Structure 1
Amino acid sequence: MKLSILPLAVAMALAGCGSSDSEPAKTPITGVFLDGAVENLDYVAGSAAKASTNAKGEFTCYAGDTVAFSVGGIALGSATCAATITPLQLANSTDVKDVKVVNRLLALQLLDEDSDPANGIKLTAAVKTALAAKSADFSADATTFNTALSATLTTAGTQYAARSVDDARRALVREHFEDTLASKVGTPVNEAFTQTTPLGSVAVTVTRYQVQAATSYYIPYEGTNAKVKADFPLGFLPSYGSSLAFKGTNAAGELEFYGLTDRGPNGDGPNLPALSGSGTTGAKIFPSPSFVPSFGVITVGKSGAVLGSSTPIKVSTTVKTSGVAIPPGTLGNSSELPVLDAMKYDATSKATFDANGLDTEAIVVDKKRSLLWISDEYGPFIVKLDPATGIILGKYAPGSGLPDIFVKRRANRGMEGLTLDTSTDLLHGFLQSPLTDGSATYSVTGKSELIERYARFTRWTEFDPNTGKAGKMYAYPLAAADYQDGRTGNAKLGDVVALGNGKFIVIEQGAAPSGKVFNKLMLVEIATATDIAATAYNPTSSDLEKSSMAGAAVNGADWSTVTTLKKTLLLDLNAIGWLAEKAEGLTIVDGNTLALANDNDFGLKTKVFDANGNAVEDADVTKCNVDANGVIITSSSAGCNSANSIRVARGTDAERPSRLWLIKFTKALTSF
């Protein structure tokens, strides 16, 4: 015992002499504030002076410090110093649905300089100055907070005042934050839902991701319009959600998917003088006409959903396909004139016709043959593809593999969905909407109406990959009451997956009677459906469509004798938070799980601008005619004024994200 007392006494003596000099220095912690990386967010850590987060959202604090965050005079809240702080900690909550959390998300994302949280949130010095005298009650209910925030945005400046604050925006900011938690924090959010449908109680758990992509995957703008360049400084957004196919699981246990682009960045154009010299022809704007339709690999794992590779689709090792329109007079021409910046056709520009044009819309993995199958809207075509090289090994068209009648597909409404039923080794695909073939008597109005608007079904075909030929054909029923203006032509089927034993799941969507787009998953059964490829239904003609409209047989083809595919609502996607208009990618991950993706249209849409550079919100560019110089001819249609201009611009905030959702059902998909 005595031996131990001396060292203890010495230690105590030393501790009493200059103890402050012997305390170890505190090590600063570099933390990051995340709702996406938030740049220029003010903070005070402990007793330190006010500072601002850097471009990575980083701040500095010491263990035990309380870190308080603010934007101008708006106090967002505080949290204990940590490597990562999010609005969850500031709201003292663990629930992303908590109104206190969503209110904070709303404020941060709507005060972002470019209103694009996908590339981070930047708070400008001007905004902080403008809001120096403002405050916010983040505990307020949604309606009260929305109103208060709208006033705050007006104070922040004109560009902020124009941003919407409503329930849809609240869902959008939360969706972005959920992806941040999954991709940056490693804590994906799983949300449970139960719906009652004609199939009974349907329970699912949804995990929401937004696909991340390096800037190398952005698509360069090839025009010269400075305003387009300003809207898309990095190029057009990647868009690999036109279809989705489960590839498998990688060595790390992460999910891998094939994602598919369509024809590339494009937007509706006005009506141009026809090349024939008589009348007009619709146009499509191709701001990146060199784009090549491609498929990519998207990995879903600890870093969220990430686009990791892209393979262009090629005709041969030296010839690539194109996304621009197929030449007039050629199978697959869509009756559109390609243009770039000027609203006039220029055969010497990059935006001209290409015989190798493809508008790819569905991708299917064929493990048996080590192939990919892709469907297209131009031809429509089905394409057989080498997944290793992207080279086309076979191409099937109406009259040469596909049903002759498919040549009458509506422009831009070709073969949207395709799937392989491994139980029968047959591909199944459909036209997105009713075909087009002039007019027919419609019993509802007693008038002659367009078939593409009022036919009561769209066509579904089997295709044998062994013979390269179509087989049976079926009618997918469309009810006029489900669609705006009673027009079944407003239906746009998205994608399809095969469950086996004659069952499929289809995305059905389109403008409802209210005008708002709906998105639903339908269980489709083929067992009792009539084969409308039979001679009795005149399968090379639209007689059956005409009969469905007239309520009487047409040239012997009688709609009343047809049993359509049986469809039953499986899941209302909007009721589980789906916001995008174009749900176009659907694939089976396992026996209980689907993956769903959207086509974000490369983040663009066509807009009409007045002489002051303001978008004419109610304008429909397809109702405008232009003269030989590309100048709008003034008419009574909204926005169609010679003083106005047409160009591609940023799409809506709700449509720009590239989504990939996992939807896990509590019971096997085959049990429905």
Structure 2
Amino acid sequence: MKRKWIVLTSLLLALPVAVSGTVTAQQVSGETSENVVYSSNGQVIKPSAPAVNLDGSLYMPVRALSESLGKYVDWDEFRSSVSLTDKPVLTGKYELKAPNLAEGIKMGVGSSLTHIPGDPDNVFYTTADRGPNGQPTINGKTVRTFPLPDYTPTIYKIEVSKGEINILDKFPLKLSGTDPVSGKVTITGLPNIKGRDEEPYDAKGEKVLAYDPYGLDIEGLAYNPKDDSFWISDEYGPSIVHVKRDGTIIERIVPKGWASQASAPLVPSRETLPDVYNKLRQNRGAEAVGITPDGKYMFMAMQNALRNPDKAMDNSRQVRIIKFDLATLNPVGEFVYVLEDAKQFKDLAQGDIVISDMVVVNENTLLIDERDKFSGDKAQLKRIYAIDLSTATNISGKYDSATAAGKTLEQMTIADLKANGILPTTKRTVLDAVAFKFPYEKIEGVSLINGDTLAITNDNDFGIDSTTPENGTLLWTFKLPYTIK
């Protein structure tokens, strides 16, 4: 069967790619060739779109041809460029088998993942987040409960072997003094500031618990080889926390004005995050952190767009990535990462597409974990992207406030970004975990080993309010057919 087909050469990723010859006109017409049989390495393949026959030459869309050949295809409308990337191979599946923390509360890790160079390839460091918590409705009011309020956020050293995740060591986060809430040197995972953070309740949702100015909701973990220490990204502050290898908290980078709201004399607060970061959406704070291998720079990414200027920005696609000079702890760059457009997915709100982790390969190359809120067969977006900052616009100190002449970054549309000459980071797919049927929602840990092995893990939220009875912690490894460096 042949149909008339119009080919537009207007950069829509339905770009015609010639099997022979080239197309230079803005519009050409021809007949589709739907009865052509294609094969790759002797195996029959079926492109998602037919080729068009133009004067005896076959032309096929880039996406249809490349995906048929086992490649990811990414289109950058800001730079009019197409990226083709070979797909990885799944090489290992591992599961955490650990005793429950309490009745109905699972043990969990996986809110972060990092590999330290020099360690065996199967050894990682990871964390759980702030501890078990839920959101029951009590007397018509939804509250945030902490069934184990004494839980201590902890760094874990793990090993993957023979299908299992084994915990080798653990380092509870602690102070050089006594935490006013725990009554011990170890901190809690309770919120910091009354009136700003969520109000914490006991397991029954009846009693209000104390706020802990030292409490942390750990989401990311990075290693600095220069001083053999960790940095943690924390959703509460949002903040970035410097920690010794034994778990002792050294200092905390916070937004301007944070220290005046909390009394935390045991941990110096460096107010070097711009004031605009105070406009975070609750539980959508500092989600990812990474450090360059030379220990010179640190990057932090927010989970969602800031509410800048208001809650309507929950539907913004613009997320901030900030760069710090670790020698001074001052920011030296800020870049725009554009989340995927929710309109291309089914029943997915824009505000439910988030960043969940980061790997810093070098000063210009980062891996970013972007995902939706679904699990199992409903999952549509679980991707690891390689992003490039080398041509991205440094927006430091700009677009933080709306003016008569312009919008905040979060208010901007894609057209606004282009009109203002703002180039976001590039995005190139490294892994589509949906295609590999990763079963759980929260892929929140990503690590890169030797430049060619990718590891991902999920945060099971301690099984609280889970709709999946077997909701556990998995770590999967993938071999890349190339090296990222």
Bin the TM-score by the shorter chain.
Answer: 0.7 to 0.9
Please show how residues 235-384 of structure 1 align to structure 2 within 5 Å: 236-248=105-117, 255-270=122-137, 282-302=142-162, 304-316=164-176, 318=178, 319-329=185-195, 333-334=196-197, 336-344=198-206, 346-347=207-208, 351-384=209-242
Cα deviation code 1:457-490 (max 9, x no counterpart) = 0111002221112221111112343456674312
Q: Is the 1:290–1:322 contact (alpha carbons within 8 Å) kept by the matching residues of 2?
A: yes
Instruction: Give distance in 2, aligned partners of 1:519 and 1:421.
Output: 24
Cα deviation code 1:406-447 (max 9, x no counterpart) = 1111100101111112357211111101112454xxxxxxxx
Instruction: Give distance in 2, aligned partners of 1:457 and 1:468.
Output: 24
Residue aligning to 1:212: 96
Classify 1:562/1:552 alpha carbon distance in 2 versus 1 (closer, same or farther; 3 Å): closer
Q: Is the 2:93–2:163 contact (alpha carbons within 8 Å) kept by the matching residues of 1?
A: no
Report the residue type matching 1:327 in the other structure. Answer: I
Instruction: Give distance in 1, aligned partners of 2:92 and 2:292.
Output: 27
Q: Is the 1:595–1:662 contact (alpha carbons within 8 Å) kept by the matching residues of 2?
A: yes
CA deviation after TM superposition for structure 1 residue 297, in Å: 0.7
Runs of at least 5 residues in structure 1 that lack an aligned partner in the other structure: 1-192, 221-228, 274-279, 440-449, 606-649
Classify 1:424/1:241 alpha carbon distance in 2 versus 1 (closer, same or farther; 3 Å): closer
Residue aligning to 1:562: 422
Instruction: Give distance in 2, aligned partners of 1:411 and 1:573.
Output: 27
Q: Which structure's residues are more often strand, by fraction?
A: 2
Is residue 545 from structure 1 mapped to residue 409 from structure 2 by the alignment?
Answer: yes
Residue aligning to 2:9: none
CA deviation after TM superposition for structure 1 residue 320, in Å: 1.8
Classify 1:461/1:254 alpha carbon distance in 2 versus 1 (closer, same or farther; 3 Å): closer
Q: Is the 1:434–1:488 contact (alpha carbons within 8 Å) kept by the matching residues of 2?
A: no
Instruction: Give distance in 1, aligned partners of 2:383 and 2:173.
Output: 30
1:412 pairs with 269, 283, 288, which one?
A: 283
Q: Is the 2:255–2:278 contact (alpha carbons within 8 Å) kept by the matching residues of 1?
A: yes
Instruction: Give distance in 2, aligned partners of 1:436 and 1:515.
Output: 28
Residue aligning to 1:652: 468
Cα deviation code 1:475-528 (max 9, x no counterpart) = 11123434566743121111111222511111111158x964520111211111
Classify 1:547/1:338 alpha carbon distance in 2 versus 1 (closer, same or farther; 3 Å): closer
Residue aligning to 1:523: 386
CA deviation after TM superposition for structure 1 residue 248, in Å: 4.9
Please show how residues 455-494 of structure 1 align to structure 2 within 5 Å: 455-478=316-339, 479-482=341-344, 487-494=349-356
Q: Is the 2:295–2:326 contact (alpha carbons within 8 Å) kept by the matching residues of 1?
A: no
Is residue 432 from structure 1 mapped to residue 308 from structure 2 by the alignment?
Answer: no
What's the secondary structure of 2:435's corresponding residue? Answer: helix
What's the secondary structure of 1:602's corresponding residue? Answer: helix
Please show how residues 54-69 of structure 1 align to structure 2 within 5 Å: none
1:588 pairs with 429, 441, 448, which one?
A: 448
Cα deviation code 1:11-49 (max 9, x no counterpart) = xxxxxxxxxxxxxxxxxxxxxxxxxxxxxxxxxxxxxxx
Report the residue type matching 2:350 in the other structure. Answer: T
Instruction: Give distance in 2, aligned partners of 1:269 and 1:560.
Output: 44
For normalisation by structure 2, the TM-score amounts to 0.72
1:664 pairs with 437, 457, 479, which one?
A: 479
Report the residue type matching 1:544 in the other structure. Answer: T
CA deviation after TM superposition for structure 1 residue 197, in Å: 2.7
What's the secondary structure of 1:434's corresponding residue? Answer: coil
Is residue 196 from structure 1 mapped to residue 72 from structure 2 by the alignment?
Answer: yes
Q: Is the 2:88–2:431 contact (alpha carbons within 8 Å) kept by the matching residues of 1?
A: no
Is residue 504 from structure 1 mapped to residue 375 from structure 2 by the alignment?
Answer: no
Cα deviation code 1:49-100 (max 9, x no counterpart) = xxxxxxxxxxxxxxxxxxxxxxxxxxxxxxxxxxxxxxxxxxxxxxxxxxxx
CA deviation after TM superposition for structure 1 residue 379, in Å: 0.3
Fraction of identical pairs, as percent: 26
Instruction: Give distance in 2, aligned partners of 1:663 and 1:585.
Output: 14
Q: Is the 1:240–1:259 contact (alpha carbons within 8 Å) kept by the matching residues of 2?
A: yes
Instruction: Give distance in 2, aligned partners of 1:663 and 1:540.
Output: 44
Instruction: Give distance in 2, aligned partners of 1:594 and 1:510.
Output: 20
Q: Is the 1:434–1:455 contact (alpha carbons within 8 Å) kept by the matching residues of 2?
A: yes
Instruction: Give distance in 2, aligned partners of 1:483 and 1:324.
Output: 35
Task: State the structure with more CA Rg.
Answer: 1
Q: Is the 1:423–1:501 contact (alpha carbons within 8 Å) kept by the matching residues of 2?
A: no
Classify 1:461/1:201 alpha carbon distance in 2 versus 1 (closer, same or farther; 3 Å): closer
Cα deviation code 1:180-199 (max 9, x no counterpart) = xxxxxxxxxxxxx9443333
Instruction: Give distance in 1, aligned partners of 2:202 and 2:300.
Output: 32
Classify 1:453/1:257 alpha carbon distance in 2 versus 1 (closer, same or farther; 3 Å): same
Report the residue type matching 2:108 in the other structure. Answer: S
Instruction: Give distance in 2, aligned partners of 1:423 and 1:383.
Output: 19
Higher RCO (C-alpha 8 Å, min separation 6): 2
Classify 1:552/1:524 alpha carbon distance in 2 versus 1 (closer, same or farther; 3 Å): closer
Cα deviation code 1:223-256 (max 9, x no counterpart) = xxxxxx4xx2xxx222110000113566xx5621
CA deviation after TM superposition for structure 1 residue 293, in Å: 0.6
Instruction: Give distance in 1, aligned partners of 2:87 and 2:414.
Output: 41
> How large is the Cα RMSD of the aligned pairs?
2.9
Classify 1:413/1:549 alpha carbon distance in 2 versus 1 (closer, same or farther; 3 Å): same
Instruction: Give distance in 1, aligned partners of 2:410 and 2:455.
Output: 37
What's the secondary structure of 2:420's corresponding residue? Answer: helix
Classify 1:591/1:341 alpha carbon distance in 2 versus 1 (closer, same or farther; 3 Å): closer
CA deviation after TM superposition for structure 1 residue 579, in Å: 1.5
The number of equivalent residue pairs is 384
Which segment is superposed worse, 452-461 or 315-324? 315-324
Runs of at least 5 residues in structure 2 that lack an aligned partner in the other structure: 1-68, 75-82, 179-184, 257-270
1:391 pairs with 242, 248, 251, which one?
A: 248
Report the residue type matching 1:432 in the other structure. Answer: Q
